[in-house]
Structure 1
Amino acid sequence: SSAGSAPGAPGSGRRGALRFAGAALAVAVVVGGVSYLNSGSSGGAKKVGMSLSTLNNPFFVQMKEGAQAEAEKAGIDLTVTDAQNDASQQANQLQNFTSSGVSSIIVNPVDSDAVGPGVRSANQADIPVIAADRGVNKADTATLVASDNVAGGKLAADALADRLGGKGSIVILQGTAGTSASRERGAGFAEGLKAHPGIKVVAKQPADFDRTKGLDVMTNLIQSHPDITGVFAENDEMALGAVKALGGKAGKSVSVVGFDGTPDGLKAVGAGTLYASVAQQPSELGRIAVQNAVKAAKGDTVEKTVKVPVKVVTRENVADFS
């Protein structure tokens, strides 16, 4: 650095020796680290990488916490990265995990298609990949640990139909296009609505699982559809954005159903502004993902799909969840 001693200045020899010792130590650490990683690939899981789509969402923060608790219990070195909802950033994270020789990788895709090449690279390096919450397209995963999103979508349709007495006009706030969670929840909801022909979907629009976008999209939808009586949002963050846009109508003339059972979502259910949320168990998803990552790294058999149950939470039973 520019602040270092000039050659031949008093103390420069000592500093040089210290620098050499520091460099030798760094090499030893790197060599030790490499042998530690290599021991992980032969003797079961030691080091696991986890790439989450975003940590700007309470659901994924809870998933991370569940994963960390399980890793600690199992004595696993878990590295968690945040892709910030950017598919190219996630691709880089997967590449880094693969080249650093982790025992297994857990990925919660930003986009189920875009993540394919990164997962295929891990496949080629014989690193098992666990998909969490969302599936991976055009690549092999050892297992998918996910909530039963289709069943959850059907439950949401039934809950909203019951609340509306089987008739009314509703809008749907969709999640990020290209995610299996959005596709499956939407499909389950559409399937569930078939039993309630008196309910008409007047608009569907993506708000990318984001609260602010949920607020913006809902504000626009209210202007073009002022007479709606219900909203289904494919996650709680968008549902809470919709509640804000609806103001005094939320929970009174318009019933909103969300999905996830996040702490903020459950609070809104308790307050009556959100009619219901289909509660997932994000920390359980994280925990089970790590368990499967450890098993897959050891070469043990894992189920191709692990479905974590979901439940409808309304004001009547919200105390059991919070």
Structure 2
Amino acid sequence: MNASVRRRGAALAIAATSATLLFSSGAAVAQVATGDTSSAKIALSNNYAANAWRQSMLKTWASTADDAVKRKLVAAAPAFTTSENQPTEQAQQIQNMILQGYKAIVVDAASPTALNGTIKKACAAGVVVVSYDGVVTEPCAYRVTFDFRKMGEKQIDYLAERLNGKGNILEIRGLAGVSVDGEIHAGIMDGIKKHPGLKIVGSVNGDWAQTVAQKAVSGILPTLPKVDGVVTQGGDGFGVAQAFKAANRELPIIILGNREDELQWWKTQVQSGYKTYSASNPPGAVTVAFWVAQQVLAGKKVPKEIDIVAPLLYLNEQQLPDALAKTPQGGVADIAFSQQDTVKLLDATPAKGK
């Protein structure tokens, strides 16, 4: 392994442990708001559930919600998923939640803008709205997000280092119209501007799902020249690998997305010297949005004008065995966030202008 790859591995290891360092630090005591929220109901409005990441997110939400109800921190916290991933359907879902008396709604949005009118109505009705993952632009909503743009840019930086600045890149995009897809793509374009020797030779939507990505890549591969690297958004890496294998094409460097099937495949490739890394937003970060909603209801002052940025999870080859051992079959490598973790994150979020 050359020195540059060793440096990259060290950097990824640091990124992977950043959440642990933040939440285990004893330098500051989390300022948890203690207002009575025992009668409040919090709902999750989710636009899509057809992949491992969303299923893991929903399971984590349910586990956290059940525990919060048992501890009498909230009265109820159910999750609802739209069937068609359409903003109109999700807007109606949120409208129903307002009428049903939910005091807070966490929204993983189908569109960054199409729900703004409904969310503004929810805020006007006194409902706390926290947009998460697929965030919205309506200013009255709190925003819990990830640095997806940097996540995309890092993929290109890594491939530029591995390929000595020159090569053909295939881009696997996510679910069209969702803010996450747009941000990761923007980051990839940022990286391409820095490394003009890398060229995007093809782009398909994988919808963050292995089967969709495999079909899409299989369809475009016959039209592509040699592919040296593949940038992804999560949930699509294993499908990409299967498509290249089925087409008898040389396996490129595929950036992976922390799904269990991807990690299992990566494990089988390590012995042959295959090198890559894996990165994703942890599905367990939905609990950050849950606790933001609960803490706002409890009286904590949380800024709306800036993003609350949850940490991403990066894995390198050395971390693979441990991550795989902890990841359930069909699941996603994850980070858990408690109420204390979330409040520490909130307290570390600078006010506007700081």
TM-score range, shorter chain: 0.7 to 0.9
> Could you tell me which residue of structure 2 aligns to residue 319 of structure 1?
321
2:64 equivalent to 1:70:
yes
Superposed, which structure 2 residues align to 1:155-166 within 5 Å?
155-166=154-165
More strand by share: 1
Find 2:37's aligned residue among 36, 44, 63: 44
Partner of 1:268: 265
**Aligned CA distance change for structure 1 residues 320 and 279 (closer, same or farther; 3 Å):** farther
Residue 86 and residue 271 in structure 1: after superposition, are their counterparts in 2 closer, same or farther (change >3 A)? farther
Q: In 2 relative to 1, CA 105–157 (structure 1 residues): closer, same or farther, beyond 3 Å?
A: same
User: Considering only aligned residues, what root-mean-square deviation do their CA atoms show, in Å?
Assistant: 2.5
> 2: CA distance between counterparts of 1:51 and 1:162?
40
The corresponding residue for 1:124 is 124
Aligned to 1:13: none
2:212 is the alignment partner of 1:213: yes
Q: Look up the equivalent residue of 2:310 and give its one-letter code.
A: V
**What CA distance in whole angstroms lies between the structure 1 residues aligned with 2:248 and 2:188?**
21
**Letter aligned with residue 267 of structure 1:** Q
Q: 1:198-240: CA deviations, max 9, x gaps?
A: 211112233333333312221122111131111112222x323
**Cα distance change on mapping 1:282 and 1:264 into 2, 3 Å:** same
- Paired position in structure 1 for 2:312: 310
The structural deviation recorded for 1:113 is 2.1
The 8 Å contact of residues 109 and 115 in structure 1, kept in 2 or not, is answered as yes
Task: Provide the residue aligned with 1:25 in structure 2.
Answer: none
| Structure 2 unaligned blocks of 5 or more | 1-34, 325-354
How many Å separate the matches in 2 of 1:222 and 1:316? 31
Q: Distance in 2 between matches of 1:249 and 1:133?
A: 34
Deviations 1:62-105 (A, max 9, x none): 22233233323333311101113233332222111111011100
State how far apart, in whole Å, the 2-side matches of 1:309 and 1:235 are: 15
Contact 1:49 1:104 in 2 (8 A): yes
Distance 1:251 1:130, change over 3 A: farther
Cα separation, partners in 2 of 1:158 and 1:211, compared to 1, 3 Å: same
* Partner AA of 2:308 in structure 1: V
Secondary structure, counterpart of 2:44 in structure 1: strand
Gaps of 5+ in 1: 1-41
Measure, in 2, the Cα distance between the counterparts of 1:254 and 1:59: 24
Q: What pairs up with 1:217-296 in 2 under 5 angstroms?
A: 217-236=216-235, 238-247=236-245, 253-259=251-257, 261-272=258-269, 275-283=276-284, 285-296=285-296
* C-alpha separation in 2, matches of 1:122 and 1:315: 45
Residue 278 of structure 1 deviates from its aligned partner by 1.2
Size of the aligned set, in residue pairs, is 277
Deviation, structure 1 residue 59: 0.9
Letter in 1 for 2:266: V
Identity %: 23
* Distance (whole Å) between structure 2 residues aligned to residue 240 and residue 51 of structure 1: 29
For the structure 1 residues 219 and 286, does the alpha-carbon distance in structure 2 shift closer, same or farther, using more than 3 Å as the test? same
Report if aligned partners of 2:174, 2:233 keep a CA contact under 8 Å in 1: yes
Give the counterpart letter for 1:186 in structure 2. H
Structure 1, 97-106 or 238-247: larger mean CA deviation: 238-247
- Cα–Cα, structure 1 residues 166 and 131, in superposed 2: closer, same or farther, change >3 Å? same
In the aligned structure 2, how far is the partner of 1:233 from the partner of 1:93? 31
TM-score (normalizing by structure 1) = 0.77
Equivalent position of 2:153 in the other structure = 154
**AA matched with 2:260:** P
Contact 2:218 2:247 in 1 (8 A): no
Task: Report the 3-state secondary structure (helix = DSSP H, G, I; strand = E; otherwise coil) of the residue aligned with 2:256.
Answer: strand
CA distance in 2, matches of 1:268, 1:227: 22
